[in-house]
């Protein structure tokens, strides 16, 4: 078996510029640049330390970051505990189909097993060609599950029915009223 020409490691703060460029490329590929509100500063604040809101691994080759995966814990009331949600998976096009994407997801799976987390989930757009990759990696499409989202004016209108006065927030929905990324 040939040794891969990359290594996977936890991301460090100095990686954020490269990670954020990859996040921007994902948003561009999905036609969702307009909803990318996060900044490198947000990633520095929320992606590191004991109170990190998300975690990440990078794939590195010859000193350059060629791929990344970001994930976070969410609590599932049905399971009585957390699961992992993969937010982003990106490998530079010239490094795809060489095992980096699978190695990145495998690191997330190893952390999940070590923490006793029974499930990793991800949302993917219907037109995403990576769906085949996810199936090969062992992910299954849950046909009985659909993702719904609300934001912008619709969420403000709904909030007006609550006893708490709503405050206006930026609308993550596209002009057509649909979320462009999953």
Which of 10-14, 158-162, 163-167, 172-176 has the least mean pLDDT? 172-176
Q: What is the pLDDT of residue 143?
A: 87
- 7: β partners: 60
Do β-strands 81-91 and 120-122 pair in parallel, antiparallel, or remain unpaired?
parallel
pLDDT per position as a tens digit, 68-124: 999 999 999 999 999 999 999 999 999 999 999 999 999 999 999 999 999 999 998
- Three-state helix/strand/coil letters over the chain: CCCCCCEEEECCHHHHHHHHHHHHHHHHHCCCHHHCCCCHHHHHHHCCCCCCCCEEEEEEECCEEEEEEEEEEEEECCCCEEEEEEEEEEECHHHCCCCHHHHHHHHHHHHHHHHCCCCEEECCCCCCCCHHHHHHHCCCCCCCCCCCCCCHHHHHHHHCCCCCCCCCCCCCCCCCCCCCCC
Q: What are phi and psi of 65, to 5 degrees?
A: -80, 125
Report which of 88, 153, 145 is spatially closest to residue 122, judged by C-alpha positions: 88
Confidence of residue 64 (pLDDT cuts 50, 70, 90): very high
pLDDT, mean over the chain: 89
Cα-Cα-Cα-Cα dihedral sign, residues 43, 91, 65, 2 = positive
pLDDT per position as a tens digit, 27-54: 998 888 888 999 999 999 999 999 999 9
Domain coordinates of the chain in residue numbers? Answer: 7-141, 148-182
Q: What is the pLDDT of residue 132?
A: 93
167 or 33, which is more confident:
33
Q: What are phi and psi of 95, to 5 degrees?
A: -110, 5
Q: How many CB atoms lie within 10 A of CB 48?
A: 19
Q: What is the pLDDT of residue 73?
A: 97
Q: How many CB atoms lie within 10 A of CB 122?
A: 18
What kind of fold does domain 7-141 have according to CATH?
Aminopeptidase (3.40.630)
Q: What is the pLDDT of residue 3?
A: 64
Are the beta carbons of 100 and 6 closer than 8 angstroms?
yes
Report which of 114, 112, 120, 117 is spatially closest to residue 137, judged by C-alpha positions: 120
């Amino acid at each position: 078996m040939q040794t891969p020409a990359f290594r996977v490691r936890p991301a460090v703060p100095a990686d954020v510029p490269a990670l954020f460029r990859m996040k921007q490329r994902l948003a561009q590929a999905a036609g969702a640049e307009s909803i990318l509100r996060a900044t490198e500063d947000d990633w520095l604040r929320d992606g590191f330390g004991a109170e990190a809101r998300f975690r990440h691994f990078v794939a590195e080759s010859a000193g350059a970051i060629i791929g990344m995966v970001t994930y976070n814990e969410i609590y599932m009331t049905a399971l009585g505990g957390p699961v992992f949600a993969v937010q982003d998976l990106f490998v530079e096009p010239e490094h795809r189909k060489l095992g980096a994407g699978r190695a990145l997801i495998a690191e997330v799976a190893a952390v999940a097993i070590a923490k006793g987390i029974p499930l990793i989930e991800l949302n993917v757009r219907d037109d995403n060609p990576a769906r085949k990759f996810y199936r090969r990696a062992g992910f299954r499409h849950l046909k009985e599950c659909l993702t719904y989202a609300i934001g912008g004016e619709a969420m403000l209108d709904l909030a007006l029915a609550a006893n708490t006065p709503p405050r206006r927030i930026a609308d993550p929905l596209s002009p057509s009223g649909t979320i462009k990324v999953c």
